[in-house]
Amino acid sequence: MAIDQSPIVVVDHLSTTFRTPRGPLKAVNDVSLTLERGSSLGIVGESGSGKTVLSRSIIGLLPTQNVTQTGTATINGSEIIGTRHKDLLKIWGSEVAMVFQDPMTALTPTRRVGQQIAESLRINLNLSRKDANLRAIELLRQVGIPSPERRARAYPNQLSGGMRQRVMIAIAIACGPEFLVADEPTTGLDVTVQAQVLDLITDLRAKSNLTMILVTHDLGVVATRTDNVAVMYAGRIVEQAPTAALFARVAMPYTKGLLDSTPRIDAPSHTRLSSIEGRPPDLVNPPEGCAFAPRCTYATDECRTVRPELVRSTLDANHLFACHHPLNGHQAASSLTENQ
Amino acid sequence: MLRYVIRRIIAFIAIMLTISLLSFWLMRLLPGDPIVKHLGTSYTPDNAAQFAHQVGLDQGFFAQYFTWLGHALTGDLGYSWNVSPNSPITTIMSKTLPPTIEIAVMSQIIALLISIPMSVAVVRRPNGRFDRGVNAVMLSAYSIPTLIAIPILTLILTVRYSLLPGPSSWISFAQDPWLNLKVCLLPAIAISIASIAGHFRFLRNDMIINLQEDFVVMARSKGLTNRRILWRHVLRPSSVTLLTSVGLTIGGLIVGLFVAEIYLAIPGFSTQVIAAVDTSDYALLQACIMTIAFIVISIQLIVNFLLPIIDPRIARD
């Protein structure tokens, strides 16, 4: 059988709007992206930039009440946006899976962890109770949990944070999904445990050619674990590039701000950490022009009135940015929309 | 765990002792003279003195109390004075308690059988039309006193449709089990109305809160149906609130049982308590109060014991 070369995830002009008491809130605004099979995309941005909503929109996991979505998102060719819950059930768990930020709140507190893995196996793969339980123990061993037979009978609150995150990963990979969304998978963990969990995800991905979206605000994690990076601000992708290219030559002042606010180990002690002044804009009343302009030191009148489109760079056709005053010699080659 | 059990048992004993002392004192402040009630027309000062001596009323308060306590601790509750003179109280209890417990348990089974599926059904769409409709009905039901519910139910179920036996048709389980259950059903339904509404409100609100939790999104991402998520992942954590509600209902339940037994002339525990008050039967009344206290405290104890089993996050201490 020939290897399928088509992209596994295609998102096209996707917007997600929440109905709030204050008015419609566009959490994801006209986002397009593609993921090749086996690749990993990091989505970075501040809190409230829309990265979590985007990742959940792509797999159809948002609640339906008070949410409207436009555009399309396909996984393995099947449309997600507007698809009935009943049909999404067939994809969830078996084709796509998710790992959440806080394994304490994301595991059901009243069910044994073994049950929580076995349940997915029984429903998606039609395994018998006995087979599912054996397979669950096997999965726990696979994610590096010592004495899995005993741990399978534990409740989530009886495990450490790192072990809970391993359990969550075991649940996610249980039914052999092709696409994994990891939403801040290491944020709540100790630094040493973070590395272990990320290594585990990397190993598992390599074994089964798993495609991944890694949502995080930690650029250090992105730098080492992803092939591509998309930087989000106010619901839009403002810069997107292969990971190495992005870190080598940042185009967006916002991305530069994020990089500068990362602590550096080679800086002298007591160095003041730089930060981006101001707060992200209110998405119910988004500003005209560039959403980042009010916080940007390079902003001109043009930035405050005309919103920059996401364009290709003349230096690198894979490097996209949305800025009137790009850094490091980047220049707009052509609008993406004209290109397509 | 052992420390927890010991602490609970000590608290249990302390509460029982306090209640026994208070009630022993308070009932002696009730209007009505037990000696007069006991002797009636055959009252003479000699008879009165003799009866007072026989039941210990000629002694001081604490002497009476400790005599009673000493006997009670060995399981001897003494004899009834006036309700059915000279019958052992333990025998009276064994006859009057079963109908009352039967009705109470039946009402709670009905309440849980209705309130749990109802809550699960409405939280599929919180604040949707169905949810608001059911909420309105439940609020109305909550405002119906048992005193009103019983005659209305009697009119509908007995008079109009002849489905259930009406008042004064008591028959014990031993005599005719099927008919006995039918007799118990009407008061059980009447008493369950308030419990249904109470349990429903607690459980619905708690399930709605739990539905916002990450573990629900996680369960969805595993491809589980909404039905399975509600029954397997949300109901159990929310049962903590439900069980607390069951514990809280007991007070209202006892009041409801009193009303139901009087209305329907059921020879149960409540009827007997009222007779004991009426005739100043101190010995019987004391035993009744201790029984109620024992049941109420035990249920709270059981609830406290069950909570950590339902939700392992809850610590025993």
| CATH number reported for the structural domain that contains residue B135 in this entry | 1.10.3720.10
Tens digit of pLDDT at every position of chain B (317 positions) = 788 888 888 989 999 999 999 999 998 888 888 888 888 888 888 888 888 888 888 888 999 999 999 988 988 888 888 888 888 898 999 989 999 999 999 999 999 999 999 999 999 988 889 999 999 999 999 888 888 999 999 999 988 888 888 887 888 888 888 999 999 999 999 999 999 999 999 999 999 999 999 999 999 999 999 999 999 999 999 999 999 888 888 888 988 999 999 988 899 999 899 999 988 888 899 999 999 999 999 998 888 888 888 998 887 65
Q: Is residue A36 scored above 50 in pLDDT? A: yes
User: In which band, very low, low, confident or very high, does the pLDDT at A4 lie, cut at 50, 70 and 90?
Assistant: low
Number of domains in chain A: 1
Spell out which residues of chain A touch residue B313, defining contact as CB-CB under 8 Å.
109, 155, 157
In which domain, by residue range, is B182 found? 93-307
In which domain, by residue range, is A326 found? 244-264+278-339
Copy the structure tokens of residue A256: 């530069």
Percent of chain A with pLDDT over 90: 44
Q: Are residues B177 and B227 in the same domain?
A: yes
Spell out which residues of chain B touch residue A92, defining contact as CB-CB under 8 Å.
220-223
Residue in A65, A96, A108 closest to B219 by CB = A108
- How far separated are the first and last CA of chain B, in Å rounded? 9
Q: Are residues B146 and B273 in the same domain?
A: yes
Q: Is residue A340 scored above 60 in pLDDT? A: no
Residue B129, pLDDT score: 93
Number of domains in chain B: 2
Q: Are residues B19 and B121 in the same domain?
A: no
Q: Does residue B316 sit within a domain?
A: no
Q: Are residues B14 and B127 in the same domain?
A: no
- The β-bridge partners of B114 are none
Spell out which residues of chain A touch residue B314, defining contact as CB-CB under 8 Å.
none
Distances (CA, A) of A123 to A49, A90, A107, A164, B135: 35, 10, 17, 22, 34
Distances (CA, A) of B99 to B152, B193, B295, B311: 22, 19, 15, 34
A157 to B312: CB separation less than 8 angstroms, yes or no: yes
- Could you report the per-residue pLDDT of B300-310, keeping only the tens digit for each? 888 888 888 89
Q: Is residue A237 scored above 70 in pLDDT? A: yes
CB pairs under 8 A between A and B: 81
Copy the structure tokens of residue A243: 């990971």
Give 3-state DSSP helix, strand, coil % of chain A, rounded to 5: 35, 25, 40
Q: Report ipTM for this prediction.
A: 0.86
- Torsions phi, psi of A211, nearest 5? -85, 145
Q: Does residue B83 sit within a domain?
A: no
Whole-model pTM: value is 0.84
- Torsions phi, psi of B310, nearest 5? -70, -45
d(CA A206, CA A2): 19
Q: Does residue A183 sit within a domain?
A: no
Q: Does residue A290 sit within a domain?
A: yes
Average pLDDT, chain A: 88
- Could you report the per-residue pLDDT of B24-56, keeping only the tens digit for each? 999 888 888 888 888 888 888 888 888 888 888
Q: Are residues B124 and B32 in the same domain?
A: no
B223 to A110: CB separation less than 8 angstroms, yes or no: no
- Could you report the per-residue pLDDT of A167-211, keeping only the tens digit for each? 999 999 999 899 999 998 888 788 888 888 899 999 999 888 899
Copy the structure tokens of residue B317: 């201490």
Q: Does residue B317 sit within a domain?
A: no
Helices (H) and strands (E) in chain A, counts: 13, 13
Among B20, B45, B73, residue at a domain's last position: B73
A98 to B224: CB separation less than 8 angstroms, yes or no: no
| DSSP states along A64-97 | STTEEEEEEEEETTEE-TT--HHHHHHHBTTTEE
**Helix locations, chain B, DSSP H:** 2-27, 34-39, 45-55, 61-73, 89-122, 129-142, 146-153, 177-211, 214-221, 226-228, 235-264, 269-278, 282-310
